[in-house]
Amino acid sequence: MNSDAVTKTSPHRALFHALGLTNEEIERPLIGIVSSQNDIVPGHMNLDKIVDAVKLGVAMAGGTPLVFPAIAVCDGLAMGHQGMKYSLVTRELIADSTEAMTLAHAFDALVMVPNCDKNVPGLLMAAARLNVPTIFVSGGPMLAGKVDGQKVSFSSVSEAVSQFQAGKITKEKLQEFENKGCPTCGSCSGMYTANSMNCLTEVLGMGLQGNGTIPAVYSSRIQLAKRAGMQIMELLKKNILPRDIMTKDAFENALTLDMALGCSTNSMLHLPAIAHECGIELNLEIANEISDKTPNLCHLAPAGHNFVEELDEAGGIYAVMNEVNKLGLLKTDLITCSGKTVGENIAGCLNKNTEVIRPVENPYSKTGGIAVLKGNLAPDSCVVKRSAVAPEMLKHEGPAKVFDCEEDAMQAITSGGITAGDVIVIRYEGPKGGPGMREMLNPTSAIMGSGLGGSVALITDGRFSGATRGAAIGHVSPEAAVGGNIALIENGDTIQIDIMANEINFVISDAELEKRRANWKPRKPKIVTGYLSRYAALVTSGNKGAILEIQKQ
């Protein structure tokens, strides 16, 4: 694609003159800057400043920057009501609308400026699909808050609600968490989904050093944006394309760092979806192979007491990559958006704090932070953030308490209907069944805040917020809406979970399972109009990344 298509004819040029562009600007490469800035998402309120810095960098390097928007939903604000049905589904809207704007206006290259949960992977999907020179610069993470001298974050506020309801803290203390939990702009301060994906963008090679960790309020974030604006002109000159960078080896590097960092389980939805746009099938079963040989080096919130700002101070993502590569686990000859290889990028990037980034000789665990489980409960797969599970819950057996939606489960948890040892099953919340695969932060926060985190597991065909901790197992595939075995579980069935063995089952005879399957009937769709109904008709289960597939005739 080349901007000559829109700059060489008089009618086209007349429209550029209407924008106030000079002949000199029209003759330069047209660089599309995709901005996710809006006034409703805390992670995006500073993106106007990031975009201004990118524009300056592009102009300094000889390009003409032109901004267009991408939408973004705040998962925290969408949590716990019908808005959460619209979170994951925006990923496809973001990719599709970026494709439309880029091809309609023949941009020569793109700078993506995202920050939060779905618009980072949505724009990575667009970059792969369009395959024009592209670089990413995110808005950066939020600083942690402080309550009683301890650092806190968004997940601390969610758990404080349950602590208040259980009579463990006062209303005044809850209000203190509310007022201090999210003290600055930026993506929420732990290793939640947004920061996970911004860090993995750096690992994939699509963002410069610091993309995932430099705090949103630091001036160095503005400097990074200027460098990204200048660097896109180098990528254009050298014709380095997203699919040159995002190779199968690059995705395996990303999975390796995912395990070392203890990223959100949502990365197990997004990485396969991005790879799919690159023409690569990323089978999640390789995640366990990678996990088996990758030590977990970081325990960032919600798994631990460190935050992304401390990861940045400790040397950032490149320091983690350099530490991991002491074991020879990374492909280092891959080209990146810096114009250098992975090996050249991470050379000399030292670990400056061995409490934040454990050395490979002293990891939190010898295996990675995420595990993919299989068994008769999830024949295709399901996912758990192993690094955020209490040791006593890595192996658990208990009776099923089954609910057909999140709201019913919340009612049971908050009214005392769940007891130690139970396994909560929330189904018909998958990509099709939800529709939209809602996050379950409220139920998991309620479990933790009620003091049941060391004795109760939660299983769902929906998904979890990156802020979730505990034995929370999501993305059960096939999902209930398509007749997956999770739809056949009944109250009282014994659920067996062995996270270290990557197994999940419920105790049932083959004859009884077939009897229940014969009696099962599909549910009527919950939503039959609008975008969600179209999404539900095309979306696949979580094990495929909840991508959209055209139905075969």
Q: Residue 51 has what pLDDT?
A: 98
The percent of residues in the chain predicted with pLDDT above 70, rounded, is 99
**pLDDT tens digit sequence for 76-101:** 999 989 999 999 999 999 999 999 99
The predicted pLDDT at position 283 comes to: 87
Q: In whole angstroms, what is the distance from residue 262 CA to residue 259 CA?
A: 5
Average pLDDT over residues 241-249: 98
For the segment 219-231, the average pLDDT, to the nearest whole number, is 98
Distance CA 51, CA 239 (A): 23
Residue 469 has a pLDDT of: 87
pLDDT at 466: 80
| CATH number of the domain to which 91 belongs | 3.40.50.2300
Looking at the structure, tell me whether residues 379 and 327 fall in a common domain. no
Which helix (H) or strand (E) segment holds residue 475: the answer is strand 472-477
Mean pLDDT of 311-339: 98
Answer yes or no: is 334 within a domain: yes
Name the residue among 155, 149, 157 with its Cα closest to residue 179: 157
User: Percentage of the chain surpassing pLDDT 90?
Assistant: 92
551 pLDDT band, cuts 50/70/90, is low
**3-state class (DSSP) for residue 317:** helix
379 and 333 fall within a common domain: no
522 & 479 share domain: yes
Q: b/e map of 163-191 (b: 16 or more CB within 10 Å)?
A: bbeeeebeeeebebbeebbbbbbbbbbbb
Residue 552 has pLDDT above 80, yes or no: no
In a domain, 354, yes or no: no
On the question of pLDDT at 127 being above 70, the answer is yes
Is residue 233 within 8 A of residue 287, CB to CB? The reply is: no
The pairing of strands 381-384 and 371-373 is antiparallel
Give CA–CA dist 292/140, Å, rounded. 31
Indicate the pLDDT class of residue 449, thresholds 50, 70 and 90.
Answer: confident
Q: What is the pLDDT of residue 267?
A: 95
Residues 449 and 329 in one domain: no
**Domain annotation covers residue 527:** yes
DSSP letters spanning 106-166? T-SEEEEE--STTHHHHHHHHHHHH-S-EEE----BPPPEEETTEEE-HHHHHHHHHHHHT
* C-beta of residue 388 within 8 angstroms of C-beta of residue 371: no
Asked if residue 116 is part of any domain, the answer here is yes
Residue 420 in contact with residue 455, Cβ under 8 Å?
A: yes
Binding residues: 75, 117-118, 439
Half-sphere exposure of 539 (CA within 13 A, CB side): 30
Tokens 């550029």 correspond to 16
Which of 465, 477, 509, 533 is an active site residue?
Answer: 465
Strand partners, 68: 34
How far apart are alpha carbons 370 and 475 in whole angstroms?
13
Cβ atoms of 457 and 483 closer than 8 Å? no
Rg of the chain over Cα atoms, rounded to whole angstroms, equals 23
Question: What's the domain range around 224?
Answer: 3-143+182-346
Residues 191 and 324 both lie in one domain: yes
Burial label for 489, CB within 10 Å (0-12, 13-18, 19+), is: buried
Q: Is the pLDDT of residue 553 over 60?
A: no
Residue 178, pLDDT score: 97
**Average of per-residue pLDDT across 112-125:** 96
Torsion 374-379-383-384 (CA) sign: negative
Return the H-helix or E-strand segment holding 68: strand 64-69
Query: What's the whole-number mean pLDDT along residues 324-342?
Result: 98
Going from the C-alpha of 41 to that of each of 70, 126, 290, 399, 442, the distances in angstroms are 13, 21, 34, 40, 19
CB within 8 A of 33, min separation 6: which ones?
Answer: 51, 54, 55, 58, 65, 66, 67, 68, 110, 111, 113
Q: Which residue has 């990223």 as its token pair?
A: 263
Q: Are residues 333 and 377 in the same domain?
A: no
Residues 104 and 245 in one domain: yes
Whether the per-residue pLDDT at 121 is higher than 80: the answer is yes
Per the CB < 8 A criterion, the answer to whether 53 and 47 are in contact is no
CATH code for the domain of 391: 3.50.30.80
The helix-helix angle for 267-277 and 90-105 (nearest 10°) equals: 30
Instruction: Identify whether residues 332 and 386 lie together within a single domain.
Output: no
Among this protein's residues, is 465 annotated catalytic?
yes
Q: Is residue 456 part of a domain?
A: yes
Token pair in block for residue 199: 């860090």
Residue 151 phi, psi (nearest 5)? -70, 140
Residue 222: count of CB within 10 angstroms of its CB: 18
20: which 2 tokens?
């106030």
Q: Verify that 530 and 409 share a domain, yes or no.
A: yes
Asked which of 346, 363, 389 is the last residue of a domain, the reply is 346
Closest to 535 (Cα-Cα) out of 230, 85, 50 = 85
pLDDT tens across 152-210, in order?
999 899 889 989 988 999 999 999 999 999 999 999 999 999 999 999 999 999 999 99
Above 90 in pLDDT, residue 438?
yes
Residue 121: closest CA among 206, 58, 235, 16: 206
The span from the CA of 200 to the CA of 206, in Å, is 9
For residue 518, is pLDDT > 70? yes
Does residue 206 lie within any of the structural domains? yes
Enumerate the known binding-site residues for Mg(2+): 75, 117-118, 439
CA distance 9 to 13: 6
**The tokens of 546 are what?**
């909840």
Count: domains in the chain? 2
- Residue 407 identity: E
For the chain, how far is it from start to end, CA to CA, in angstroms? 32
Nearest to 385 by CA among 498, 266, 281, 283: 266
| Same-domain status, 93 and 231 | yes
CA distances from 496 to 119, 265, 465, 492, 502 (A): 36, 21, 24, 12, 11
Mean pLDDT of 13-31: 98
**Hey, what amino acid is at 355?**
E
The mean per-residue pLDDT over the stretch 477-488 comes to 98
Tell me the average pLDDT of the chain: 96
User: Any residues with CB less than 8 A from the CB of 78 and at least 6 apart, and which?
Assistant: 84, 86, 87
Residues 324, 393 within the same domain: no
Would 391 be classed as within a structural domain?
Answer: yes
432: alpha, beta or left, given left = phi > 0 and alpha = psi -120 to 50? alpha
One DSSP character per residue, 363-414 reads -SBSS-S-EEEBSSSSSSEEEE-GGGS-GGGSEEEEEEEEESSHHHHHHHHH
Over residues 362-373, mean pLDDT: 95
Residues 341, 225 share a domain: yes
Structural domain includes residue 150: no
